[in-house]
A and B are shown apart, each in its own frame.
Chain A
């Protein structure tokens, strides 16, 4: 995973050159899939569709496609010594035609053995898998269930403080963060849930994550609040006459990895405009040597939008840096009053995840 290069970086502000150690690492997924059946949503004119990834609009249809879940990422970390590092992560996703962009770019400073301060652009650590969503090698499935990971904003620019403490047998870690995200043309809202360009702003973001680990148990708490503003076609959207609205997100996750059994779960609630958007995910797997067959069930429930996905799959760690995965997903869309998303669908996906 670690390739060390010695590069000479000439600092523009200094008259002398400095030697920085740069670590290069990366991840990639090549995944193909197709629908085996689907209803689509006739009233929206939408054909059979499996919406595998909401924020980037990763969709599988009747024909084989490699776009929705395939991606590559390259991370470079320059160690500027004395606890200071600079990291950039370039990610190209099939759903965006592999146009690579800087997904992460931040400076990190280690204050002491317990605290590290980071500033720049990072992933929002909302759900359990949010901040390593693209690094599919690091989790069991082809992707974290779409029914949970539905939110249109997944990055922020701001400041993050993370910590690490040992409390007896428990390792406690977490972070607190603040920042904002202004997405000029939000893909999910502009292309999938509408046909006009939507600028989506999440500002005054304040959140925190607290995790407790002990041998085979991992418990994580997450909370975040933000102020939402939105422009459709350049015109500000109002909600009950107000030009902004506050969202509050809270979640709890518990994961167990015991005697080759894996039990993964999370439950989350977003309160927005007085409405509750509830999500949960439960998954079980059993490791048999290099093979891990698994089952999962994920659910989204709000006033109008209601859907769930039951999945069955297997992960095969056939190589020390790569895993083959095969997954079958069965989506039920019970949306009412126009709350349907993509209709019912069944789909298969298979391919390889790797890290280097």
Chain B
């Protein structure tokens, strides 16, 4: 089973090398708090509101944005392929619609800053005072 360990280890190392911190962001006026399980519920279409009862609109980054893979793996504990398979099942059975996708950290920040119900995420290094950070992973 040595080959098996090598593959697992290589995968782990490759993943670690690319790791950067992801910041989950909301509109500055949003007073909600959130934990990882609640974020995962919103981004898998299983929840639609914050814990204070107000409406939540999750926004995703496109696969081309580096923080997307980080978010999928750290917060949702899935690979981007697994998430695509998950959403395929819901989309083609009429049970759900994936979050709208934005192309970059800058577009995400602008969208979150403009919508009091939005929740998104960006590379933690890109955070500024137009948005509020709820959690970092």
Besides A75-B92, A134-B92, A173-B95, 13 other A-B contacts (C-beta < 8 A): A1-B84, A1-B88, A1-B98, A2-B98, A77-B97, A87-B94, A118-B94, A125-B93, A137-B88, A166-B47, A171-B41, A320-B80, A321-B84
Q: Identify the 6 closest CB pairs spanning chains A and B, nearest first.
A: A317-B81, A138-B88, A138-B89, A171-B46, A289-B11, A131-B93
Q: Does A244 contact B (CB under 8 A)?
A: no
Tell me whether A288 and B8 are in contact (CB under 8 A). Answer: yes
Q: How far is the CB of B134 from chain A (nearest CB, A)?
A: 19
Q: Can you give 24 contacting A-B residue pairs, CB < 8 Å?
A: A1-B91, A1-B98, A25-B91, A75-B91, A75-B92, A106-B94, A123-B93, A125-B93, A131-B93, A138-B85, A138-B88, A138-B89, A162-B95, A166-B47, A169-B37, A171-B41, A171-B47, A173-B46, A288-B4, A289-B8, A290-B81, A317-B81, A320-B80, A321-B84
Q: How far is the CA of A293 from the CA of B33 in the complex (A)?
A: 40
Q: How far is the CA of A118 from the CA of B96 in the complex (A)?
A: 13
Task: Specify the chain B residue showing the minimal Cβ separation from A25.
Answer: B91
**What is the interface residue range for chain B against chain A?**
20 to 34
Known contacts A138-B85, A139-B85, A166-B46: A288-B7 contact under CB 8 Å: yes
Q: Does A325 contact B (CB under 8 A)?
A: no
Task: Specify the chain A residue showing the minimal Cβ separation from B60.
Answer: A2
Task: Specify the chain A residue showing the minimal Cβ separation from B49.
Answer: A113
Interface residues of A in 95-130 (CB under 8 A from B): 104, 106, 108, 113, 118, 122-123, 125
* Chain A interface mostly: strand
Interface residues of A in 61-76 (CB under 8 A from B): 73, 75
Task: Specify the chain B residue showing the minimal Cβ separation from A317.
Answer: B81
Q: Does B117 contact A (CB under 8 A)?
A: no
Q: How far is the CA of A323 from the CA of B85 in the complex (A)?
A: 10
B interface residues with partner A (beta carbon < 8 Å): 4, 7-8, 10-11, 37, 41, 46-49, 63, 79-81, 84-89, 91-95, 97-98, 101
Q: How far is the CA of A45 from the CA of B37 in the complex (A)?
A: 58
Chain B residue numbers with a CB within 8 Å of A125 are 93
Chain A residue numbers with a CB within 8 Å of B79 are 317
Task: Specify the chain B residue showing the minimal Cβ separation from A257.
Answer: B82
Q: How far is the CB of A81 from chain B (nearest CB, A)?
A: 14
Task: Specify the chain A residue showing the minimal Cβ separation from B7.
Answer: A288
Q: Does A56 contact B (CB under 8 A)?
A: no
Most chain-A CB neighbours within 10 Å: which of B4, B85, B89? Answer: B85
Task: Specify the chain B residue showing the minimal Cβ separation from A319.
Answer: B81
Q: How far is the CA of A225 from the CA of B4 in the complex (A)?
A: 48
Chain B residue numbers with a CB within 8 Å of A171 are 41, 46-47
| Of the residues B11, B63, B93, contact of A320 by C-beta under 8 Å | B63
Chain A residue numbers with a CB within 8 Å of B80 are 320
Chain A residue numbers with a CB within 8 Å of B81 are 290, 317, 320, 323
Chain A residue numbers with a CB within 8 Å of B92 are 25, 27, 73, 75, 89, 132, 134-135, 138
Chain B residue numbers with a CB within 8 Å of A131 are 93
Chain A residue numbers with a CB within 8 Å of B95 are 162, 173
Q: Does A355 contact B (CB under 8 A)?
A: yes
Task: Specify the chain B residue showing the minimal Cβ separation from A291.
Answer: B7
Q: Does A164 contact B (CB under 8 A)?
A: yes
| Of the residues B8, B89, B94, contact of A108 by C-beta under 8 Å | B94
Tell me whether B89 and A135 are in contact (CB under 8 A). Answer: yes
Q: Does A150 contact B (CB under 8 A)?
A: no
Task: Specify the chain A residue showing the minimal Cβ separation from B64.
Answer: A320
Task: Specify the chain A residue showing the minimal Cβ separation from B45.
Answer: A164
Chain B residue numbers with a CB within 8 Å of A323 are 81
Q: How far is the CB of B49 from chain A (nearest CB, A)?
A: 7
| Of the residues A104, A108, A113, A173, contact of B48 by C-beta under 8 Å | A113
Q: How far is the CB of B111 from chain A (nearest CB, A)?
A: 15
Chain A residue numbers with a CB within 8 Å of B101 are 2
Q: Does A332 contact B (CB under 8 A)?
A: no
Q: How far is the CA of A113 from the CA of B79 in the complex (A)?
A: 28
Q: Does A39 contact B (CB under 8 A)?
A: no
